[in-house]
Amino acid sequence: MYMAVQYAFVGMVQTRKTKDKVTMENSNPHEEDVQAPVFLLEAKTTVTEQNVTEGVCNAEVVEEIAEKTTITDTKVIAEEANHPDNEPSTVATASASSTYQQGIDDFYQSQAECQKKKLDTIHEYLLYIMSPFVYEEDMDEFCTDLLRFATDHNYRPEVEWKRFKTKLSSFDVRHLVWSIAIRLGLGKGKVYSNDDCACYIERRFASLCVTASGEPLSHSTLRNLTVTSNSDQIHCDIQGADGLLFHIPSQLGLEKD
């Protein structure tokens, strides 16, 4: 803008001097006019040189400003690259992703801890309730199979269990399996069904699931898990308010010192 005004001012001066020259020539036709062109030329040259000088100065100023701006922009970009915390969108995305994964990890960890607690509680119950009927050296194998059923309702044993200290009945093993399944979710819409329990019992304790004449009990009979008899040795253990603990001394806080 400043240079444009200068150019316009010079043009006005030149135009005015040209008009003055024409007027002088017309009024003094016989007078020598050598000095006038020199004066105009010198003025023009002076103005031109001044304009060129100012233009060069202005160009240098503009170039210096542009250079400073470039250096400043480069410095800002470098600082942003060295300080990723200054990028809120990236930080927010990373934070959201980390929180999402943490939620998944915590959920499965909680599920695993809950499952472990259930299995430990069931294992303790089996050790206590079956001690009169299973030899100590066999107890680990006996419990392991039942715990497999406690982790998978579709699990079906391939080997029948026959080693008992004393004879049990189908009522006893039905009560045993029911007491475990009810704590894991037994019934309509739950994880375990009466059919699951009956299938496990008739395969794991086949020799106990027979009539007085030696005939195998029907599947529908074995589905009746809570039926009782006068000879029951293992009774149904109905869960308390907590839904998990069994009625055994260690879980009732009745252990001897």
Identity at 208, one-letter amino acid code: L
The answer to whether residues 151 and 242 belong to one domain is yes
Kind and range of the H or E element at 123?
A: helix 88-129
The per-residue pLDDT for 81 is 55
Number of domains the chain is built from: 2
Residue with tokens 């259930």: 118
What DSSP string runs through 191-208? SB-HHHHHHHHHHHSGGG
User: In this structure, is residue 167 part of a structural domain?
Assistant: yes
User: In this structure, is residue 91 part of a structural domain?
Assistant: no
Distance CA 148, CA 154 (A): 10
Q: Are 43 and 35 in contact (CB under 8 A)?
A: no
The answer to whether residues 122 and 233 belong to one domain is yes
The per-residue pLDDT for 90 is 72
The per-residue pLDDT for 29 is 46
User: In this structure, is residue 201 part of a structural domain?
Assistant: yes
User: In this structure, is residue 198 part of a structural domain?
Assistant: yes
Residue 188's alpha-carbon distances to 111, 146, 193, 195, 240, in angstroms, are 23, 22, 7, 11, 20
The answer to whether residues 126 and 21 belong to one domain is no
User: In this structure, is residue 99 part of a structural domain?
Assistant: no
The per-residue pLDDT for 254 is 76
User: In this structure, is residue 192 part of a structural domain?
Assistant: yes
Condensed to tens digits (0 to 9), the pLDDT of residues 223-254 reads: 999 999 999 999 999 998 889 999 999 998 87
The answer to whether residues 16 and 124 belong to one domain is no
The answer to whether residues 155 and 204 belong to one domain is yes
The answer to whether residues 123 and 222 belong to one domain is yes
Q: For residue 164, which of 130, 123, 197 has the smallest C-alpha distance?
A: 130
The answer to whether residues 119 and 72 belong to one domain is no
- Domain containing residue 135: 112-252
The answer to whether residues 80 and 163 belong to one domain is no
Distance CA 145, CA 123 (A): 11
Residue 255 CB burial class (10 angstroms; 0-12, 13-18, ≥19): exposed
CB within 8 A of 166, min separation 6: which ones? Answer: 132, 133
The answer to whether residues 126 and 216 belong to one domain is yes
The answer to whether residues 179 and 118 belong to one domain is yes
The answer to whether residues 154 and 226 belong to one domain is yes
The per-residue pLDDT for 93 is 81
User: In this structure, is residue 45 part of a structural domain?
Assistant: yes
Residue 31's alpha-carbon distances to 16, 24, 27, 35, 38, in angstroms, are 21, 9, 9, 11, 15
Give φ, ψ of 162 to 5 degrees. -125, -10
Residue with tokens 């998990």: 244
Distance CA 144, CA 96 (A): 42
Residue ranges of the chain whose pLDDT lies below 70: 1-89, 255-257
What DSSP string runs through 37-64? HHHHHHHHHHHHHHHHHHHHHHHHHHHH
User: In this structure, is residue 93 part of a structural domain?
Assistant: no
The per-residue pLDDT for 256 is 58
Distance CA 32, CA 34 (A): 6
The per-residue pLDDT for 14 is 52
The answer to whether residues 120 and 195 belong to one domain is yes
